[in-house]
Chains A and B, each alone.
Chain A
């Protein structure tokens, strides 16, 4: 099934590349979304069974695949009404849409992959398709961002590849099927700890480029800034999840060895530094997209802390990453509207948003509540659980540091959000010329509603799925 999916999606992507007609491109996009939904449903029916040898839909893959499908639908809808007012040439539009399809396809395959090298291949493809999206505007800024993104991601993926090779060396006289995650997890206790450590460091450092943690987070920030808003919404949510998947799979292996506490320290240090960097940059950031991108760095730091702390932290990390995906993508889609109305991303030139676009302003306010993890938001629950797990791991200093930094972040975000919503903008002639219909905001409200619902009263099957995913680490 997955092979059929890959062939179909790549064909659609190629057709979109060459297609010049608007109607055909809409039809192809709808077809792709149907195939994507079909794949998601199908993978649920074959849970934990191998699909085409190299793929296996385990609980984590199913959760993230569903999240990807849910987020990709509004991303494609926004793409239509985002791009249509702009006079892009059909060729540029075709490249954009083809790259979007390719990105979602590669992400799905990377989530589902059961072989460490196959994951790597599809992550590589996400880099290539994402860079086509960053390049969309074709001006000096987007060229700079694309160059940095390709270069940093390529180097990071070389790191991951080195890590995979080192794992291969540690296996001794093994065959390539032994690089299946299941086999690696079984063999893990017998492997030499030196090799596991060095492989873990390389693979973790490599995947941080996607995951958005220190040391490789920088390229992602520029990419989210320069990519069109719907694509940036995907970069800041589902593309970061693929980094999480890479780290999570490695964590499955490490969790069955004696280097676990050491690896937890490595991840915790990276996470704390990420939150620190997010806090520092959020205090001075002026660009609304970069502000949201740094907020993502902070949230990924929280996720990584949950992973490092263990216990209830595993559950919290997965819940947090799901809820963050919905909240952050909704906000990025909204930024597209803001850019339409104000023609700028600079926070100091955006103001009185409530006056120009009421629905969007309400969404921005709710989004603020969500990403700062205030009580009705589901992220509050997951963050509280992460703090509990850190507390239970007796890392009091780390906990206090995180709480202080999160307070700073809430203050910085609040300052900027309320500035955009309520303070008058410096007078510029053409603000508000373009009206955004409230209908375009509906899908964003749905995403935020999911954040509240899944956090506050999660349905039982969702909790069971997350528990199954946690089982992968703890059985």
Chain B
């Protein structure tokens, strides 16, 4: 069951690579949040009930609803154009994403991962490196934030692999998610939006040597 959810998660990465509207990115984040909810529900059965409820709530409320809504608000408020504006063609993005997923899969097969952990390891690595690739290949600051959330989702999947033994780490991942997303988005993107109108990374190159 979890394997199917994780495979769907990997497919969202492929869709991410060819999506050309910011709103599509946000819908994908919502889908990913729901998938993570499913994974946590099925997988973390050994965890105590309060902690589990907290994590499930976080995946649904924060990951699937709050963060996409908030980013949507920021986009509307700063009147950011809805195209993603990548530096590379979508086709190249798709190829690179496919290669990353394939490499992560091969690595998980080669490495000495416990059998139950393999899908987590592969999908988490793929999400992290795809997120990094999207960050360097997209122009807008807001897409950087979206890709950061994507990386967080990848980390959340990885933390599921040790979730039953070390619930502390899963909680820490959640903490990172809430804390940094709120900090990045809430306080800062508003300020960046006020000063830098276009929300384009090219505006962020005045400090240099």
Contacts and interface: CB of A to CB of B under 8 A. Distances in A.
Nearest to A284: B209
B6 to A, nearest CB: 16
Nearest to B168: A176
Interface in B117-159: 117, 121, 124, 128, 132, 135, 141, 144, 148, 151-152, 155, 158-159
B155 A146 contact: no
B204 interface: yes
Contacts of B124: 162
A286 B188 CA distance: 29
A175 B172 CA distance: 15
The 3 closest A-B pairs by CB, nearest first: A168-B162, A176-B166, A176-B168
Contact of B184 (A124, A150, A287, A290): A150
B41 interface: no
B172 A141 contact: no
Given A169-B121, A173-B165, A174-B165, A161 B155 contact: yes
Nearest to A202: B128
B192 A147 contact: yes
A93 to B, nearest CB: 18
B172 A169 contact: no
A232 B173 CA distance: 30
B123 to A, nearest CB: 13
B155 A158 contact: yes
Contact of B195 (A143, A174, A281, A290): A143
Interface string A172-188: 11111001000000000
Of the four ranges (under 10, 10 to 19, 20 to 34, 35 or more), the interface on chain A belongs to: 35 or more
Contacts of B117: 169
Contacts of A147: 141, 188, 192, 204
A259 to B, nearest CB: 14
Given A146-B188, A162-B155, A154 B148 contact: yes
A155 B151 contact: yes
Contact of A150 (B162, B176, B188, B196): B188
Contact of A141 (B111, B165, B179, B207): B207
Interface residues of B, number: 42
A164 B169 contact: yes
B73 interface: no
B2 to A, nearest CB: 16
A169 B206 CA distance: 42
A225 B172 CA distance: 31
A120 B162 CA distance: 17
Interface of A: 117, 120-121, 124, 128, 135, 140-141, 143-148, 150-151, 154-155, 157-158, 161-162, 164-166, 168-169, 171-176, 179, 192, 194-195, 222, 225-226, 281, 284-287, 290
A117 B179 contact: no
B195 A117 contact: no
B88 to A, nearest CB: 20
B183 A169 contact: no
Nearest to B161: A169
Given A169-B121, A175-B165, A176-B165, A154 B180 contact: yes
A143 B167 contact: no
Q: Give the residue among B141, B172, B184, B192 with the most A Cβ atoms within 10 A.
A: B172
B165 A281 contact: no
A154 B192 contact: no
Contacts of B155: 158, 161-162, 165
Contacts of B113: 169
Question: Which label, helix, strand, loop or mixed, suits the secondary structure of the A interface?
Answer: helix
Contacts of B207: 141, 144-145, 148, 222, 225-226
A158 B209 contact: no
A128 B181 CA distance: 12
Nearest to B132: A155
8 contacts: A117-B168, A124-B179, A144-B207, A168-B162, A175-B166, A194-B111, A285-B209, A290-B209
A161 B209 contact: no
Contact of B173 (A144, A161, A169): A161
Contacts of A120: 172
Contacts of B172: 117, 120-121, 161
Contacts of A286: 209
Contacts of B132: 155
Nearest to A195: B112
Given A162-B128, A194-B112, A144 B161 contact: no
Interface string B31-44: 00000000000000
Contacts of B112: 192, 194-195
Contacts of B128: 158, 162
A145 B144 CA distance: 16
A102 to B, nearest CB: 13
A165 B162 contact: yes
Nearest to A282: B209
Contacts of B180: 124, 154
Interface in B63-103: none
Nearest to A172: B114
A176 B168 CA distance: 7
A179 B121 CA distance: 20
A143 B196 contact: yes
A281 B172 CA distance: 38
A304 B111 CA distance: 29
Nearest to B208: A222
Contacts of B159: 165
